[in-house]
Amino acid sequence: MTTVLLHFPDEAAPACRLAKACGLAAREVECHRFPDDELKLTLPLSEAGDFPETLVIYRSLDRPNTKLVELLLLSRHARGHGVSRLVLVAPYLAYMRQDIAFHAGEVVSQTIVGGFLAELFDAVITVDPHLHRIERLGQAIPIDHAIALSGAPRLAELILEKRPGALLLGPDEEALQWVAQAAELTGLDHATCRKVRRGDRDVEIQLPDTPLVGRAVVLMDDVASSGHTVARAAEALLAAGAISVDVALTHALFAGDALEVIRDAGVGEVWSTDCIAHESNAIAMAPVLAEALAALI
């Protein structure tokens, strides 16, 4: 066999969708956690002849700290058993937001984690990474094949089906790239709010100068974590006369009670891609990932 896709039990569904789309064999990694939190990984590849020339590892890096150790162990083990090419499919890529030192002494995680992945893998495929001060993923992960895809086109298709005529709105200026892309594909109106952040859970939203009374609005962004930015935007929109507010996201990170916070703010539907497994998943990214992966293997 020349290419195998490895995945973990908690991501079996999206990984197997990708494997099927690419015509690859999908194999599951067994993971045991000792009482002291050390990991023991067991691969479904034991004999020398079982290891392929190219190994694809599917691991989305939400809740990333343990997963980064998993990748270290897997990649070093695979190299030691003759795998010549390692490809990481990480639909969500962690540690990209800290791209500069905002205050003296802060560690810039983007380049450090990016460099770590570059040492382990020959190619990395991800979706909508948090790249707001650099132009290319390769500036964070310095390898020839650092590929950043977008969930916006798939989300745009769903929004047009579910809410024809909706206003696409970014909860802050950083969301403009996804909102504009979706608007171009659908022909829907779009705008962005302005966000003033005072803390992780303390934000103020300023609405755009756009007619809102009687409009169905879809808030669109790459990721929701605490949910407070989306919640404050939804509250302001409904107070300004919007008849409905729904949310479309690439990454449903949703830490803690984030989804409840969003629902309590009056949001109707929440649609996300399966880059992070979540009850809100409405879009499979396998077709998009498969096209990029097929070009590498």
pLDDT tens-digit series, residues 2-18: 899 999 999 999 999 99
Q: Is 186 domain-assigned?
A: yes
Instruction: For residues 127 and 71, state if they share a domain.
Output: yes
Stretch 45-66: mean pLDDT: 90
- How much is the mean pLDDT over the chain? 93
**What is the spatial distance between Cα 20 and Cα 39, in angstroms, rounded to a whole number?**
29
- Read off the amino acid at residue 97: R
The lowest-confidence range among 143-152, 187-196, 279-288 is 187-196
Answer yes or no: are the C-beta atoms of 172 and 206 closer than 8 Å. Answer: no
pLDDT at 202: 63
Q: Is 245 domain-assigned?
A: yes
Instruction: For residues 198 and 133, state if they share a domain.
Output: no
- Read off the amino acid at residue 58: Y
Q: Quick check: 200 pLDDT over 90? A: no
In this prediction the pTM is 0.93
Instruction: For residues 15 and 143, state if they share a domain.
Output: yes
pLDDT at 119: 98
Report the Cα 105 to chain-centroid distance in Å. Answer: 28
Instruction: For residues 241 and 228, state if they share a domain.
Output: yes
Q: Kindly report, residue by residue over 202-240, the tens digit of the pLDDT.
A: 667 889 999 999 999 999 999 988 888 899 999 999 999
Q: Is 188 domain-assigned?
A: yes
Answer yes or no: are the C-beta atoms of 201 and 263 closer than 8 Å. Answer: no
Instruction: For residues 184 and 252, state if they share a domain.
Output: yes
Instruction: For residues 9 and 146, state if they share a domain.
Output: yes
Beta strand 270-273 with 281-283: parallel, antiparallel or unpaired? Answer: parallel
For residue 187, what are its two tokens?
């022909």
For residue 54, what are its two tokens?
């190219």
Q: Is 233 domain-assigned?
A: yes
Q: Kindly report, residue by residue over 143-185, the tens digit of the pLDDT.
A: 999 999 999 999 999 999 999 999 999 988 888 989 999 999 9
pLDDT at 21: 97
Q: Is 118 domain-assigned?
A: yes
pLDDT at 201: 55
Instruction: For residues 214 and 146, state if they share a domain.
Output: no
Q: Is 157 domain-assigned?
A: yes
Instruction: For residues 161 and 268, state if they share a domain.
Output: yes
Instruction: For residues 146 and 158, state if they share a domain.
Output: no
The CA–CA distances, whole Å, from 55 to 45, 68, 142 equal 11, 17, 20
At CA 126, angle to CA 120 and CA 127, rounded to 5? 165
Stretch 20-44: mean pLDDT: 96
Q: What is the CATH number of the domain that holds 260?
A: 3.40.50.2020
pLDDT at 196: 73
Domain count, the chain: 2
Concatenated DSSP letters of 107-158: --HHHHHHHHHHHH-SEEEEES---SS-S-GGGTS-SSEEEEE-SHHHHHHH
Which residue segment(s) compose the domain that 163 sits in? 152-274
Q: Kindly report, residue by residue over 110-134, the tens digit of the pLDDT.
A: 999 999 999 999 999 999 998 878 8
Instruction: For residues 146 and 288, state if they share a domain.
Output: yes
pLDDT at 70: 98
Answer yes or no: are the C-beta atoms of 261 and 253 closer than 8 Å. Answer: no
pLDDT at 230: 92
Instruction: For residues 157 and 134, state if they share a domain.
Output: no
Q: Is 279 domain-assigned?
A: no
Helices (H), the chain: 12-22, 64-80, 109-120, 152-162, 176-186, 228-239, 258-264, 286-294
pLDDT at 199: 55
Q: Quick check: 187 pLDDT over 90? A: yes
Instruction: For residues 108 and 177, state if they share a domain.
Output: no
